[in-house]
A and B are shown apart, each in its own frame.
Chain A
């Protein structure tokens, strides 16, 4: 061990990127992608989970809700895609909390990078996992007869509004992850947020089939708008109203939870 410890010998000094926030976000996404590559069993398990969920809902509700499984699948798939966002919250919050607990967050915050980088990084970094889950569930649905009835532009738009909503929800995850003191409270809080969001929506069944008082929550739930928007974009007819309501609800969620997350972040100073 004759080498000097800190002076880089062969390595060139680092470059300065014009858009550091984008670079940091991409690096964190890279981190999560590498983790998926290193633990293929997690990828396989979450893919199986997606397939099982789709099939279970299809078999349980298929006959009762639509009378026809093929018809219900067209209704169900966009709902599952919307639900995945709610499921994502808990794991994203757990990832943030784990980084804080293990001191990784402090390491990041002591680096000469943007103060927002660790948070932004987690938000961007979770997108590959979501994309993977969604691709698996769409492929499964296609195998069982689901067909897109609109054009590529609509599909692209569907991906875009999922992305917008995912970023809005990641502020919810960040708030939970930053406020929680231990892993158990993250999963508890995650569950408390996830259940009413995922199941108190029209993702699985039409709003009108639900009790009256419950319908008023379902009609406020962003995932209801997202489910409707995705249905209109994937199977038509394309309507602008659910799309606009989805975007509006993404703005509202961000306006509520972004300041909360930033406050929780600042509280650690």
Chain B
């Protein structure tokens, strides 16, 4: 018994030095990460950062140029057939046959997986029920809304009862209500012990769902860890206070500056005074001192940096800057594939 085998039991995903080129384009540059079984791993990054390429390699649709990847201990190249028995894939575009109705879409996959006609129908009915699609079961999928289509697609990827589920940007293009429904599904899957790899461009989504995050940019891992750890990595907390009376902003700034020993910044537009706070104890001190000074505040609290702030400080770019660049990169890739 070697150590690697023992490790494989605990990890659903092990990616080591994965590299993939499309012609001269380096889509993935030696990325490494892992995910423990039963957790949700968020793969976060802008367009063209290599998220989809990673998912395609892990789901055996693409071969890596070099490096290795294991799913439930099975090598994605050498044991691809075993990997495919373990996984479910929901790609970037809802892969449903628009001419078929909801039930038949599920039956088709079930029958390909070897269910008899009768069992395929029973399995389809179970999933239609779980995904709240019973009423739409007999309607062609082309009449479905974006959210329904995505749910049908998710149901299809679960027919074979996978241990690991890949969700490539599952909420892109969905309205807020459907997005929350997908989030709910991911949480339920996790509670049933399924490992989920979720790619997303939305920091809020990653923050809410993922146990661990891997941040990709230009095909490289630029940060990894829990959402909390990533937030801490970039900057500490901020002590913020908003006085009821905007005229007293200067007084508040003075008090907060005294407590923390750092000069507080005043934002006149929002009426908020902010100061970096290393010690959480400053919160109660601030409350006491403002009370003594007779200043009433509408809001007072410690704020963690948002993942947006983390992300932009990590990638060192703004969304606007990336778009043009990514479009050309994407076009290059399209012409090569």
Q: Which residues of A contact B (CB under 8 A)?
A: 1, 3-12, 14-17, 20, 23-24, 27, 30-31, 34-35, 38-39, 102-104, 106-113, 117, 181, 268-269
CB pair A9 B126 closer than 8 Å = yes
The number of A-B residue pairs with CB atoms under 8 Å apart is: 121
* A-chain residues with CB within 8 Å of residue B91 when the two chains form the complex: 103, 106-107
**Chain B nearest CB, measured from A264 CB (Å):** 11
Quick one: given A11-B126, A30-B111, A38-B140, are A110 and B99 in contact (CB under 8 Å)? no
The 8 A-B residue pairs whose C-beta atoms are closest, nearest first, are A103-B95, A14-B114, A110-B89, A107-B95, A112-B84, A112-B85, A103-B91, A103-B93
> Which one of B93, B97, B119, B129 contacts A11 once the chains associate, using CB atoms below 8 Å?
B119
- Sample (28) of A-B pairs whose CB atoms are under 8 Å apart: A1-B130, A1-B132, A4-B192, A6-B158, A6-B194, A10-B126, A11-B115, A11-B119, A12-B119, A14-B110, A14-B113, A27-B111, A30-B108, A30-B111, A31-B97, A31-B108, A38-B99, A102-B93, A103-B92, A103-B95, A106-B89, A106-B95, A110-B61, A112-B84, A112-B85, A113-B112, A117-B112, A181-B334
Q: Is B162 an interface residue (CB 8 A)?
A: yes
Chain A nearest Cβ from B136, distance in angstroms: 15
Residue B174 lies at the interface, judged by CB distance under 8 Å to chain A: no
How far, in whole Å, are A107 and B97 apart by their CA atoms in the complex?
A: 11
Chain A residues whose CB sits within 8 angstroms of the CB of B140 once the complex forms: 38
Choice from B96, B100, B161 contacting A7 with Cβ under 8 Å: B161
Pick the residue among A24, A34, A38, A107 that contacts B89 (CB under 8 A): A107
B contact residues vs A (CB 8 Å cutoff)? 56, 59-63, 81, 84-85, 87-89, 91-101, 104, 108-116, 119, 122-123, 126-127, 129-132, 140, 156-158, 160-162, 185, 188-189, 192, 194, 334, 337
Give 10 A-B pairs besides A6-B189, A8-B126, A34-B104 with Cβ atoms closer than 8 angstroms: A4-B130, A6-B158, A8-B123, A14-B115, A30-B108, A39-B99, A102-B95, A102-B96, A103-B95, A113-B112
Which residues on the B side are within 8 Å of A10 (C-beta)?
A: 122, 126
Measured between alpha carbons, how far is A23 from B108 in the docked complex, in Å? 12
Main secondary structure of the interface of A (DSSP, over half): loop
Q: In the bound complex, what is the Cα–Cα distance between A11 and B91 (angstroms)?
A: 26
Q: In the complex, what's the smallest C-beta–C-beta distance from B161 to chain A, in angstroms?
A: 5
**Which of A7, A9, A112 has a CB less than 8 Å from the CB of B113?**
A112
Give the Cβ gap from B309 to chain A, nearest Cβ, in Å. Answer: 34
Cβ contact within 8 Å between B188 and A113 = no
Contacts of B88 in A (CB 8 A): 110
Q: Which of A6, A9, A23 contacts B162 (CB 8 A)?
A: A6
Q: Which residue of A lies closest to B60 (CB)?
A: A110
Q: Given contacts A31-B97, A102-B93, is CB(A3)–CB(B129) below 8 Å?
A: yes
B95 near A104 with CB under 8 A, answer yes
Q: How far does the Cβ of B276 sit from chain A's closest Cβ, in whole Å?
A: 44
B122 x A17 contact (CB < 8 A): no
The answer to whether B59 and A104 touch across the interface, beta carbons within 8 angstroms, is: no
